Amino acid sequence: MNTIERNGNEVAVVYFRTGYVPNQYDDTAWRARRILERSRACCCPDIGTQLAGTKKVQQQLASSDALISSRGFSATTAARLQQTFTTMFSLDEGDDGDKVVQKALANPSEYVLKPQREGGGGNNLYDEDIVQFFGSNERGVERTDHAAFILMHRLQPPPIWNVPMHPSTIPHPELCVGELGVFGAYVRCGTDMIFNSCCGHLLRSKDARCPDSGVISGEALLDSPCLVEKPTKTRTQA
């Protein structure tokens, strides 16, 4: 926690470097988090923002009911927004969850299985790992373990030729795919929005054969986008 004084007012900022996975919380940590959330300190992230990073909450936020009721969008606008979202499937207990499992087993390469954690870093499951995960239920894994995951349609970006620069290796062309992330920053007090702005971007490129895209894990490299102006079509004159 950092505390500064500005214009005679004390400002405290809490920046969380831990508390992003369940095993990082015990009774003492929960009590500390409760005190911080109830204080006047600026929490980065606050509990609402942190929960929005979990896949189960994202599934609910992406639903048409949430877009219309909580965000106030019209049905038409909500439908247009949903076209930009990938499909998320719940694995809750019941017939619907069983159908989702069968869908994943029939075409595992079309999906990615994600736990309630942010980012990849080896946490996500692909291809044969999905088959093994669901097959483990026959060996005694409880359905509640499955319900903690979300099945998502897997994005298939078009591969392009790139030249990754690795330490101590000779650069050579490889088929790569990129992932462009946009940074945003916002500050709010209760429900009042004070600041909300786009602050930059990050492009990661990786081997097209590699499922994960973490830079820290060494699977991806930082890259720079090359913007190419789309040629305008000219009308042929008779």
| pTM, 2 dp | 0.73
Q: Is residue 27 part of a domain?
A: yes
Q: Is residue 112 part of a domain?
A: yes
The tens digit of pLDDT for each residue in 195-232 reads: 899 999 999 999 998 887 778 777 788 998 888 887 77
Count how many Cα atoms sit within 13 Å of the Cα of residue 111 in the half-sphere of its side chain: 23
Q: What is the CATH number of the domain that holds 178?
A: 3.30.470.20
Domain boundary among 113, 133, 153: 153
Tell which residue, 41, 39, 33, has the closest CA to residue 9. 41
Question: How many domains, the chain?
Answer: 3
pLDDT for 4 equals: 63
Q: Is residue 145 part of a domain?
A: yes
Q: Is residue 30 part of a domain?
A: yes
Q: Is residue 76 part of a domain?
A: no
Q: Give, to the nearest 10 degrees, the angle between helix 95-106 and helix 127-135.
A: 140
Sheet with 42-44, strands from edge to edge, namely 2-6, 9-15, 42-44
Q: Is residue 71 part of a domain?
A: no
Q: Is residue 148 part of a domain?
A: yes
> Which domain covers residue 142, as residue numbers?
86-153
The tens digit of pLDDT for each residue in 40-58 reads: 898 999 888 888 888 888 8
The tens digit of pLDDT for each residue in 97-106 reads: 889 999 999 9
Q: What is the CATH number of the domain that holds 116?
A: 3.30.1490.50
